[in-house]
């Protein structure tokens, strides 16, 4: 075929792609539906031109369209890796990891249930072998969430819900294609009725092998990109090569799923690379991938749609009954997942509660598209698949795809409206009225000042002021007549706005590079979690999320276990340094929010709500300050280095801004400005390299600061620092309960704990100890001890504590003073201790 003609057709398809997006917006239909319809119309029009004798002028173009060299390999090896890789790069994986249970369960179980449902239903009503029926089930089990997700975003549905749908769909496609490859092998080998025992053992290898292949490929690519740290275009070029090499390597070298490899490679790069790139470089890379994915997604849709007339050429009347069976079985399988499994996961606290209207919308919005057609095309191209199987696979997959696109896709917005998801709740409607009234009042004041400053014509000003005043009066009336908002709801809405302002402030500082690239994603992720927790739990949800952001997570505890038990300190040192930077950035951000509360929230929600938000914000600042002070006491030298590094980054940002202003004013030429920017870039790269944290040295310094160990010589302090075990605990953690055996003594390095015993409550802070009474009295513990702040504790076992007590008069005095506070005679402690000796 003439290369110029093919080029012209592809260029024309880009024109169609460009026109499809505004057309979809105007018709309020999903973008994929418009692309599919346009592709079908183009293919049908070309076929009509070839089969009629009205004109021969367009025959060469029509023949080229009909016979375009579209093969399944083009979809699977060119377009699909781009779509999958970009989807993983664009996801907030840290937030998605919070919901990994529902995502994995929904994705894998949904694919298996849909495959089995469609497969056995077709096997029951048709003469096809079971392997071919299961192959069709795997083909139609892929879903395209773009339509329902875009609508959910437009109606302000919960972000967490949209994230679960996107993650489930991504892994859904990967699992479905892995199953497709397995059943395709059975069909080509002539295995008519594979059993579950034959099929399922192969499935985990496809998944695990693909995941390991993608991880290895991403680590190699990251190493290569690190060598090109000063060349952004080179790094982007390496990222473009990664998904294709991961896909081909997994398929051809390992024999695992290439799709899983691409997903794993994208996730790995997403998790490890943003912290090593400048924020703008990462933004540029994701923008390039966004454009590539947009083109790939549009082309795969429209090219697949061109194949639909060809795939339906051999359709028979009886095939429509089989298409109906596929529709019913696939819809029923999806309904079982949404209305059976999802409520079960919610009841087990493994998934957020998804309201029934949203689940109904997800069910109706489960469109099938280009991936389904590409897999069907792969079957029809294989010479090792029986002709009747190829014919039915093409017809059934195409028929089901057309049903979801034309019937479900065109009515999805109507279903959303029927479910009432596009309407504001009474609270949000009342708030909307108040927001409009406050905003219009501010606008009126600003317009009046502008008219005065620019000395505009009085007649024009009066005419426009009258029109604007009428609109303002209407807004005020609507706000007064609207439903009353409870203070509880006002607080929730105010906290959501406050958390959103915090996120905007963080993003601004990330762009300005006041916050290092290494922790930028974590800080933004914490802000997103704060917003979602507030939406779900109101004031209590906000407080829980705030405490969690300064607490010690499971990964931190795992790193501590590796350090204490196996001597592997690298992970703990890195996470401790990250925590230090994270807390410093939080403190920086939170101190800017008081003005936002007074300037914005107070005008909408009133003084009482604003005062309460000030109080909650003050508690957060106090909590962060306590955590920062604890780390500063724990790692004094390292804290100074990090704070100096922060000041240097701020100074570089201000210096860069000054040079830019001079360049705009013409005071600095282009060549000099370039040289100055290169110098700043070199100094910034040096400032971004974080100093190493030596936990052993830092703990020795920490032990030296304890007043209890002041009379120890240098050698004794060194031995003590080696045997003390560090334990990090969150606020609310119970350290031990009544009647538990006494085995250790605790020293508070930072934070605070609360002891409850015999109806009395005692609070202890930094430098104090607890747990020694039960050991010295040789009795079970009589107190309940819990942390009342994120705390760092040093733990010493009973034998070493008794040995240390004998040698330290200062420690003996501390034990006596502690006993007197609790009403215990000090002589009893020493007497029991001497007996034990």
Average pLDDT over residues 213-228: 87
Residue 426's pLDDT band (boundaries 50, 70, 90)? low
User: What is the structure's pLDDT at 242?
Assistant: 92
537: closest CA among 95, 158, 155?
A: 158
Residue 836's pLDDT band (boundaries 50, 70, 90)? very low
pLDDT above 50 (res 91): yes
Rounded-to-integer distance, Cα 338 and Cα 234, Å = 44
Residue 454's pLDDT band (boundaries 50, 70, 90)? low
Average pLDDT, the chain: 77
pLDDT above 50 (res 279): yes
pLDDT above 50 (res 837): no
Query: What's the pLDDT tens digit per position in 587-634?
Result: 878 888 888 888 777 777 778 888 888 888 888 888 888 777 777 766
Average pLDDT over residues 271-276: 69
Q: How far is CA 423 from CA 25, 427, 651, 739, in A?
A: 19, 11, 48, 57
Query: What's the pLDDT tens digit per position in 779-815?
Result: 788 788 888 777 778 888 888 888 887 777 777 777 7
Q: How far is CA 699 from CA 635, 705, 724, 729, 744, in A?
A: 8, 10, 9, 17, 19
Q: How far is CA 737 from CA 16, 755, 757, 782, in A?
A: 70, 10, 10, 8
Query: What's the pLDDT tens digit per position in 534-571?
Result: 877 888 888 888 888 887 777 777 777 777 666 677 77
Query: What's the pLDDT tens digit per position in 625-682?
Result: 877 777 776 666 677 777 777 778 778 878 888 888 888 877 777 778 788 877 877 7
User: What is the structure's pLDDT at 54?
Assistant: 63
Q: Which of 94-108, 449-463, 546-560 has the lowest mean pLDDT?
A: 449-463
Average pLDDT over residues 491-506: 82
Name the CA dihedral angle for 534, 538, 539, 541, rounded to a multiple of 10 degrees.
-50
pLDDT above 50 (res 206): yes
Q: Which of 149-158, 519-528, 816-825 has the lowest mean pLDDT?
A: 149-158
Q: What is the DSSP string of 593-632?
A: HHHHIIIIIHHHH-HHHHHHHHHHHHHHHHHHHHHHHHHH
Q: Three-class SS string for 729-793? A: ECCCCEEECCCCCCCEEEEEEECCEEEEECCEEEEECCCCEECHHHHHHCCCCCCEEEECCCEEE
pLDDT above 60 (res 688): yes
Residue 38's pLDDT band (boundaries 50, 70, 90)? confident
Query: What's the pLDDT tens digit per position in 697-727?
Result: 556 666 776 777 776 777 777 777 777 887 8
User: What is the structure's pLDDT at 328?
Assistant: 92
pLDDT above 60 (res 483): no
Q: What is the DSSP string of 37-103?
A: HHHHHHHHHHHHHHH--S-STTHHHHHHHHT----HHHIIIIIHHHHHHHHHHTS-HHHHGGGHHHH
pLDDT above 70 (res 358): yes
Residue 245's pLDDT band (boundaries 50, 70, 90)? very high
Rounded-to-integer distance, Cα 281 and Cα 271, Å = 15
Q: Between these two residues, 445 and 725, which has the higher pLDDT value?
A: 725
Q: How far is CA 265 from CA 100, 215, 295, 757, in A?
A: 17, 5, 21, 54
Other beta carbons less than 10 A from residue 754's beta carbon: 16
Q: Are strands 734-736 and 784-787 parallel, antiparallel or unpaired?
A: antiparallel
For the sheet with 725-729, list strands across it: 725-729, 791-797, 744-750, 769-770
Average pLDDT over residues 397-410: 83
At 220, is the secondary structure helix, strand, or coil?
helix
Residue pair 90/286 in contact by the 8 Å Cβ criterion: yes
């Amino acid at each position: 075929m003439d290369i110029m003609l093919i080029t012209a057709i592809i260029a024309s398809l880009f024109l169609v792609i460009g026109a499809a997006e505004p057309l979809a917006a105007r018709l309020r239909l999903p973008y994929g539906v418009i692309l599919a319809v346009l592709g079908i119309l183009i293919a049908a029009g070309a076929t009509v031109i070839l089969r009629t004798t009205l004109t021969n002028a367009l025959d060469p173009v029509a023949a080229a369209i009909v016979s375009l060299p579209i093969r399944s390999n083009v979809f699977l090896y060119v377009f699909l890796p781009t779509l999958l890789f970009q989807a993983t790069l664009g996801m907030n994986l840290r937030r998605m990891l919070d919901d990994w249970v529902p995502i994995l369960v929904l994705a894998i179980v949904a694919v298996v249930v849909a495959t089995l449902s469609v497969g056995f239903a077709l096997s029951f009503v048709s003469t096809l072998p079971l392997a071919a029926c299961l192959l069709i089930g795997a083909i139609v089990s892929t879903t395209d969430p773009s339509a329902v997700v875009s609508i959910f975003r437009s109606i302000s549905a919960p972000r967490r819900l949209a994230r679960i749908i996107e993650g489930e769909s991504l892994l859904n496609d990967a699992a479905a294609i892995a199953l497709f490859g397995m059943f395709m092998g059975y069909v080509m080998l002539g295995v008519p009725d594979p059993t579950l025992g034959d099929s399922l053992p192969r499935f985990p290898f496809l998944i695990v092998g693909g995941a390991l292949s993608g991880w290895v490929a991403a680590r190699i690519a990251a190493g290569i990109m690190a060598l090109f740290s000063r060349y952004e275009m080179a790094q982007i070029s390496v990222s473009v090569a990664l998904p294709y090499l991961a896909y081909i390597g997994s398929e051809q070298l390992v024999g695992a799923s290439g799709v899983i490899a691409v997903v794993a490679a994208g996730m790995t790069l997403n998790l490890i690379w943003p912290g090593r790139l400048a924020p703008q470089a990462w933004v540029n890379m994701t923008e390039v991938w966004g454009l590539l994915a947009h083109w790939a997604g549009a082309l795969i849709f429209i090219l697949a749609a061109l194949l639909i007339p060809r795939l339906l050429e051999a359709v028979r009347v009886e095939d429509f009954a089989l298409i109906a069976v596929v529709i019913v079985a696939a819809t029923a399988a999806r309904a079982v997942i949404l209305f059976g499994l999802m409520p079960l996961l919610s009841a087990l606290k493994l998934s957020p509660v998804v309201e029934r209207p949203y689940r109904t919308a997800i069910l109706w919005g489960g469109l099938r598209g280009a991936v389904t057609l590409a897999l069907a095309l792969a079957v029809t191209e294989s010479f090792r698949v029986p002709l009747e199987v190829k014919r039915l696979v093409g017809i059934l997959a195409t028929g089901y795809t057309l049903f979801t696109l034309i019937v479900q896709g065109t009515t999805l917005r109507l279903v959303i409206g029927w479910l009432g998801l596009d309407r504001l709740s009474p609270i949000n409607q009342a708030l909307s009225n108040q927001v409009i009234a406050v905003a219009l009042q501010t606008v009126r004041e600003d317009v009046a000042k502008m008219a005065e400053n620019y000395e505009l014509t009085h007649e024009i000003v009066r005419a426009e002021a009258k029109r604007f005043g009428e609109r303002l009066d209407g807004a005020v009336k609507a706000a007064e007549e609207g439903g009353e908002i409870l203070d509880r709801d006002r607080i929730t809405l105010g906290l959501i706005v406050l958390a959103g302002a915090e996120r905007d402030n963080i993003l601004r500082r990330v762009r300005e590079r006041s916050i290092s690239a290494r922790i930028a994603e974590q800080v933004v992720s914490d802000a997103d979690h704060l917003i979602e927790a507030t939406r779900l739990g109101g004031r209590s949800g906000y407080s829980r999320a705030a405490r969690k952001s300064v607490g010690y997570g499971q990964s931190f505890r795992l790193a501590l276990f590796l350090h204490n038990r196996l001597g592997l300190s690298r992970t703990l040192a890195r996470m401790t340094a990250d925590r230090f930077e994270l807390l410093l950035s939080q403190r920086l951000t939170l101190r800017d929010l008081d003005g936002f509360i007074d300037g914005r929230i107070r005008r909408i929600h009133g003084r009482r709500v604003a005062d309460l938000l000030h109080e909650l914000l003050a508690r957060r600042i106090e909590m962060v300050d306590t955590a920062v002070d604890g780390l500063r006491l724990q790692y004094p030298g390292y804290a100074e280095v990090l704070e100096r590094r922060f000041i240097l980054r701020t100074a570089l940002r201000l210096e860069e801004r000054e040079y830019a202003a001079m360049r705009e004013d013409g005071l600095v030429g282009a060549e000099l400005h370039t040289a100055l920017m290169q110098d700043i870039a070199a100094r910034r790269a040096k400032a971004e390299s974080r100093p190493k944290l030596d936990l052993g040295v830092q703990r020795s310094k920490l032990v030296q600061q304890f007043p209890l160990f002041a009379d120890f010589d240098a050698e004794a302090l060194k031995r003590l620092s080696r045997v003390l075990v560090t334990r990090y605990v969150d606020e609310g953690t119970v350290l031990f309960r009544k009647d538990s055996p006494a085995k250790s003594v605790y020293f508070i390095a930072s934070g605070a704990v609360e002891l409850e015993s015999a109806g009395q409550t005692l609070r202890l802070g930094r430098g104090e100890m607890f747990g020694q009474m039960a050991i010295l009295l040789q009795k079970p513990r009589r107190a309940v001890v819990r942390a009342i702040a994120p705390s760092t504790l040093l733990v010493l076992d009973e034998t070493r504590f008794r040995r240390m007590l004998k040698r330290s008069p200062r420690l003996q005095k501390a034990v006596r003073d502690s006993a007197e506070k609790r009403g215990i005679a000090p002589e009893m402690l020493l007497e029991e201790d001497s007996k034990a000796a």
